[in-house]
């Protein structure tokens, strides 16, 4: 076949052989060209440089006529981006003229630079984009052919009516995009002022109003009256009471964000003022638990602690890992991190214990009960999606700063894997062993203790490993709220740009994590 009739140029479809008949039927116009192209795609003989030049020149309308949505959006996006850069050329050259008038030389130079680079960008994107479009055209069109073969109701051929749709889409998107590119967006403050003057009944030019509504920040729709300022002072008996003060007259209303933020603040303030004993109780508990653990880690002389850690790692994980542990401990000791590292370890251990004590029963519940799963799974999902920094805020709000809130934030961050992996382990206990235990007269407690938990143990231990790892990473972050330890060195280094100190501490933390991880993991695999 030597028929190289380009697309769109029309011409009668070439004489269809059996092989090419479906291609011709699908492509309709320029059937011969597509028959040849598709055939070479099927034979894997299409040259890598093959470009449909007609499609490249015609751009996205070609895709619209061929009803290929994917190609349409690619082509439209290329042209739109190029056009936006062209509009910017216009915007910046006008700004440059204005700067000349204003006699601001530095601005003139900047705007002229921007004008040139925008122009280049527009040209390069347009030309390169169209070539890519042409390169993609036949390949994507072949995919469309494949779906059409399976389902003949899918669009095929060539239809002018599709241009109407394409025009509608372009008309909806392009003008606003181009207008936005040609304008400098108004500042938020200008728009707030404008809203107030409209409220005061002044005339504002339509263009300014339009700019504030459409380009720039999403317009502020909800305006709310300010809330009363609430404080919780003590009366003469030393008991707290609620005092409300109306906002000063004449202050402007606030937006939804400020209003809600104050609402939350008031709620937290109320809780801490009237239920402080509850939070203090938790703090006291955490502090005493931590001090007991710290006494072990920090209170033990380094030579005994080191020996103990190595002995534990040897019995749990063998000689090779103990060599690594010894090297890591040496690093920590030589660079003067010993006490700090042990401090961090106590935090990790305290948080991990709490995670395990609460996570295990919760995990069992989730694993065994449909309702438990329905309630807890979404909560766990949220807990794992929220960035770790965000946990610090409520911890500080309720428990002020220091180690106890650090532990709490760590617990919330590190608990999900414990619950998930316990539940997973419980759920994966084979039905037949459970059935056998029931057939021999097991009651629910015996079923759990003698059949389900032992078989879920590998999964539970994986959960414990995860908990320890995540606790370590969060304890470092918790240094931001005064939890101390290795994280404190890093955050301080960050604040004072003491890069060297920060990197050394960072390596120390990594070694700490690797030590725990290797030992726990190895201990798990040795057992099973």
Q: Which residues bind another protein (CB under 8 A)?
A: 430, 432-433, 435-443, 446, 450-451, 454-455, 457
Residue 218 or 440: which CB sits closer to another protein? 440
Q: How far apart are CA 270 and CA 260, in angstroms?
A: 15
Residue 44 or 439: which CB sits closer to another protein? 439
* Residue 109 vs residues 91, 96, 117, 166: alpha-carbon distances, Å: 14, 8, 12, 40
Residue 323 or 449: which CB sits closer to another protein? 449
Q: How far apart are CA 313 and CA 156, in angstroms?
A: 68
Name residue, tokens 């937290």.
268
Residue 97 or 435: which CB sits closer to another protein? 435
Q: How far apart are CA 316 and CA 447, in angstroms?
A: 29
- In the complex, least distance from residue 435 CB atom to another protein, rounded to whole angstroms: 6
SS3 state at 148 = helix
Q: How far apart are CA 230 and CA 235, in angstroms?
A: 15
DSSP 227: P
- In the complex, least distance from residue 270 CB atom to another protein, rounded to whole angstroms: 48
Instruction: Give the DSSP H or E segment for 37.
Output: helix 31-42
Residue 269 or 458: which CB sits closer to another protein? 458
- In the complex, least distance from residue 457 CB atom to another protein, rounded to whole angstroms: 8
- In the complex, least distance from residue 464 CB atom to another protein, rounded to whole angstroms: 18
Question: What is the signed CA dihedral for 5, 9, 15, 20, rounded to 10 degrees?
Answer: 80
195: tokens are 């809203």
- In the complex, least distance from residue 13 CB atom to another protein, rounded to whole angstroms: 53
Residue 4 or 432: which CB sits closer to another protein? 432
Residue 152 or 528: which CB sits closer to another protein? 528
- In the complex, least distance from residue 304 CB atom to another protein, rounded to whole angstroms: 35
What residues contact residue 366 under an 8 Å CB cut-off, 6+ apart? Answer: 372, 373, 376, 377, 419, 420, 422, 423
- In the complex, least distance from residue 427 CB atom to another protein, rounded to whole angstroms: 17
Residue 438 or 504: which CB sits closer to another protein? 438
Beta carbons of 86 and 124 less than 8 angstroms apart: no
Residue 238 or 441: which CB sits closer to another protein? 441
Q: How far apart are CA 164 and CA 161, in angstroms?
A: 6
Name residue, tokens 């638990």.
289
Q: How far apart are CA 388 and CA 400, in angstroms?
A: 17
Name residue, tokens 């798990």.
524
230: tokens are 């609430």
- In the complex, least distance from residue 462 CB atom to another protein, rounded to whole angstroms: 16
387: tokens are 């960035």
- In the complex, least distance from residue 425 CB atom to another protein, rounded to whole angstroms: 12
């Amino acid at each position: 076949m030597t028929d190289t009739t380009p697309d769109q140029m029309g011409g009668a479809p070439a004489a269809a052989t059996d092989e090419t008949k479906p291609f011709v039927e699908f492509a309709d116009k320029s059937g011969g060209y597509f028959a040849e192209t598709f055939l070479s795609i099927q034979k894997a003989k299409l040259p890598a440089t093959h470009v449909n030049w007609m499609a490249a020149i015609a751009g996205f309308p070609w895709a619209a006529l061929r009803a290929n949505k994917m190609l349409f959006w690619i082509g439209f996006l290329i042209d739109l981006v190029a056009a936006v850069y062209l509009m910017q050329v216009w915007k910046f050259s006008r700004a440059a003229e204005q700067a000349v008038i204003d006699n601001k030389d530095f601005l003139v130079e900047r705007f002229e630079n921007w004008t040139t680079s925008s122009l280049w960008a527009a040209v390069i994107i347009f030309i390169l984009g169209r070539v890519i479009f042409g390169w993609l055209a036949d390949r994507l069109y072949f995919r469309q052919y494949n779906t059409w073969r399976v389902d003949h109701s899918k669009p095929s051929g060539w239809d002018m009516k599709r241009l109407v749709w394409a025009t509608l889409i372009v008309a909806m998107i392009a003008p606003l995009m181009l207008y936005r590119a040609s304008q400098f967006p108004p500042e938020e403050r200008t728009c707030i002022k404008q809203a107030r003057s409209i409220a005061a009944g002044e005339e504002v030019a339509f263009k300014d109003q339009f700019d504030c509504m459409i380009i720039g920040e999403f317009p502020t729709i909800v305006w709310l009256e300010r809330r009363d300022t609430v404080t919780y002072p003590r009366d003469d008996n030393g008991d707290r009471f609620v005092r409300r003060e109306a906002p000063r007259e004449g202050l402007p209303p606030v937006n939804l964000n400020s209003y809600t933020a104050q609402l939350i603040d008031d709620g937290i303030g109320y809780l801490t003022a009237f239920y402080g004993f509850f939070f203090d109780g938790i703090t006291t508990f955490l502090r005493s638990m931590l001090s007991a653990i710290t006494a072990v880690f920090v209170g033990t002389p380094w030579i005994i602690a080191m020996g103990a850690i190595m002995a534990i790692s040897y019995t749990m994980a063998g000689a090779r890992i103990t060599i690594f542990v010894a090297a890591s401990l040496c690093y920590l000791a030589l660079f003067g991190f010993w006490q700090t590292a042990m401090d961090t370890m106590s935090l990790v251990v305290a948080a991990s214990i709490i995670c395990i004590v609460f996570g295990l029963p919760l995990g069992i519940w989730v694993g065994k009960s449909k309702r438990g799963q329905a309630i807890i799974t979404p909560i766990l999902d949220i807990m794992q999606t929220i960035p770790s920094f965000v946990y610090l805020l409520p911890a500080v709000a309720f428990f002020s700063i220091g180690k106890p809130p650090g532990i709490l934030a760590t617990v919330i961050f590190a608990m999900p894997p414990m619950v998930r992996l316990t539940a997973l382990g419980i759920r994966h206990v084979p039905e037949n062993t459970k059935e056998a235990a029931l057939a021999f007269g097991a009651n629910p407690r015996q079923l759990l203790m003698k059949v389900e938990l032992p078989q879920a143990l590998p999964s539970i231990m994986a959960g414990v490993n995860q908990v320890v790892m995540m606790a370590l990473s969060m304890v470092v972050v918790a240094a931001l709220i005064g939890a101390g330890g290795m994280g404190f060195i890093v955050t301080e280094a960050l604040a004072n740009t003491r890069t060297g100190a920060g990197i050394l501490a960072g390596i120390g933390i990594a070694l700490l994590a690797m030590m725990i991880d290797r030992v726990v993991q190895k201990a798990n695999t040795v057992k099973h």
